[in-house]
């Protein structure tokens, strides 16, 4: 995270990439205190520490010092010069060739690609070039129905489930009501539990009214059931009961075209780095 609130404090967020030894040691402690596999999400560099070799040194040290075997690579560097977090997700250019070079140079590790991948078409394009996995951030959040609705069929080859948003919300209601207030002090609250749903009707009739109703329902609703009773009247039945549209949405099929022609030179761990092995 490049946010000044986080990285600005000097020892959190993306600034940690400048101290791979510390990250390796921290990951070691984290891994020793959990039963699940641990992973690191990082950028490809920070400010002018943006060479492919420096990225490799980071991966090499962290994976040598800790059991971390999985890295999620947001394939642009971060700028710590005070630009907003949103600009930091837009301005530094994406360098997918660094990601694909990591697959070549660290064959024993797992890498998930992230950054600027906006549809299942583009996720499949990344997988075709050899990506181990794909993380989609903003597209999934801003257009969940359009982006995620096609994942099972287009990525995993499952038959279309024909599920509707009404059915999804019924299941979400059960889940939401089972977690509300569980952490104590009324947390998570309705707003926190319902937030991931707010873009579910993006570009559909009733979307604006549903969001306004949601804003006012956050003030007093105590259950997801009452939240939905109060807000879903904004959405026509034809929208609530429509299954995901058949065709896969468009995307840039050629997003990773020729990426393998532009890979940086192979990584050679320097002697100093080799000490970590
Ligand atoms: C509102 C928002 C909050 C985010 N918070 C985090 C976070 O806490 N940790 C993290 O690693 N990335 C965070 N990200 C970054 C995303 O995980 C992702 O790396 C980034 O958006 C690029 O992927 P995309 O182009 O698919 O969105 C956040 C992104 C957004 C838009």
Q: In the structure, what pLDDT confidence band is assigned to residue 81 with cuts at 50, 70 and 90?
A: confident
The stretch 269-273 carries a mean pLDDT of: 71
2 lines ligand 1 (CB under 6 A): no
Rounded to whole angstroms, the Cα distance separating 251 from 255 reads 9
CA of 9 to the centre of ligand 1 (A): 19
Three-state DSSP class for residue 18: helix
Give pLDDT, residue 188. Answer: 95
CA of 74 to the centre of ligand 1 (A): 9
Q: ∠ at Cα 274 (268, 275), nearest 5°?
A: 165
**Structure confidence by residue, pLDDT tens digits, 14-25:** 999 999 999 999
Starting at the earlier edge strand, list the strands of the sheet with 133-135: 39-42, 70-74, 110-114, 133-135
* Ligand 1, atom 13, residue with closest C-alpha: 1
Give pLDDT, residue 12. Answer: 80
1 lines ligand 1 (CB under 6 A): yes
Give pLDDT, residue 7. Answer: 66
Give pLDDT, residue 11. Answer: 73
Give pLDDT, residue 8. Answer: 65
Residue 6 clears pLDDT 90, i.e. is over it: no
Element at 39 (helix H, strand E): strand 39-42
ipTM value, please give it: 0.98
Give pLDDT, residue 47. Answer: 95
Rounded to whole angstroms, the Cα distance separating 83 from 7 reads 12
Give pLDDT, residue 3. Answer: 72
Contact 28, 22 (CB under 8 A): no
* Cα–chain center distance at 89: 12
89 lines ligand 1 (CB under 6 A): yes
115 lines ligand 1 (CB under 6 A): yes
**Structure confidence by residue, pLDDT tens digits, 205-261:** 999 999 999 999 999 999 999 999 999 999 999 999 999 876 666 789 999 999 999
Residue 194: partners with Cβ closer than 8 Å, 6 or more residues away: 176, 214, 218, 224, 227
Q: Which residues pair with 40 in a beta bridge?
A: 71
The stretch 171-198 carries a mean pLDDT of: 95
CA of 92 to the centre of ligand 1 (A): 14
114 is in an annotated binding site: yes
Residue 271 clears pLDDT 80, i.e. is over it: no
41 is in an annotated binding site: yes
CB count, 10 Å around CB of 77? Answer: 26
Give pLDDT, residue 259. Answer: 97
116 is in an annotated binding site: yes
116 lines ligand 1 (CB under 6 A): yes
81 is in an annotated binding site: no
Element at 148 (helix H, strand E): helix 144-148
**Structure confidence by residue, pLDDT tens digits, 115-143:** 999 999 999 999 999 999 999 999 999 99
The stretch 59-79 carries a mean pLDDT of: 97
CB count, 10 Å around CB of 28? Answer: 16
Q: In the structure, what pLDDT confidence band is assigned to residue 13 with cuts at 50, 70 and 90?
A: confident
Averaged pLDDT score across all residues of the chain = 93
CA of 229 to the centre of ligand 1 (A): 31
């Amino acid at each position: 995270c490049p946010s000044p609130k986080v990285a600005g404090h000097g020892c959190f967020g993306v600034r940690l990439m400048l101290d791979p030894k510390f990250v390796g040691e921290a990951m070691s402690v984290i891994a020793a205190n959990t039963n699940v596999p641990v992973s690191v999400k990082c950028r490809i560099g920070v400010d002018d520490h943006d060479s492919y070799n420096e990225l490799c040194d980071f991966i090499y040290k962290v994976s040598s010092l800790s059991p971390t075997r999985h890295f999620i690579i947001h394939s642009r560097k971060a700028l710590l010069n005070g630009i907003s977090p949103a600009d930091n997700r837009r301005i530094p250019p994406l360098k997918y060739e660094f990601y694909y070079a990591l697959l070549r140079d660290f064959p024993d590790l797992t890498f998930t690609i992230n950054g600027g991948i906006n549809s299942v078409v583009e996720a499949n394009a990344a997988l075709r070039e050899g990506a181990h996995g794909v993380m989609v951030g903003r597209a999934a959040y801003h257009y969940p129905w359009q982006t995620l609705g096609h994942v099972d069929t287009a990525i995993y080859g499952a038959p279309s489930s024909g599920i509707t948003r009404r059915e999804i919300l019924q299941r979400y209601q059960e889940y939401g009501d089972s977690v509300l207030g569980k952490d104590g002090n009324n947390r998570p609250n309705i707003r926190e539990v319902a937030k991931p749903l707010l873009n579910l009707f993006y570009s559909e009739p009733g979307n604006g009214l549903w969001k306004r109703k949601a804003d006012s329902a956050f003030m007093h609703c105590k259950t997801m059931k009452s939240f939905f009773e109060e807000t879903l009247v904004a959405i026509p039945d034809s929208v609530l009961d429509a299954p995901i549209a058949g065709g896969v949405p468009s995307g840039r099929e050629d997003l990773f075209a020729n990426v393998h022609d532009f890979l940086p030179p192979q990584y050679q761990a320097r002697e100093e780095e080799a000490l970590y092995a």
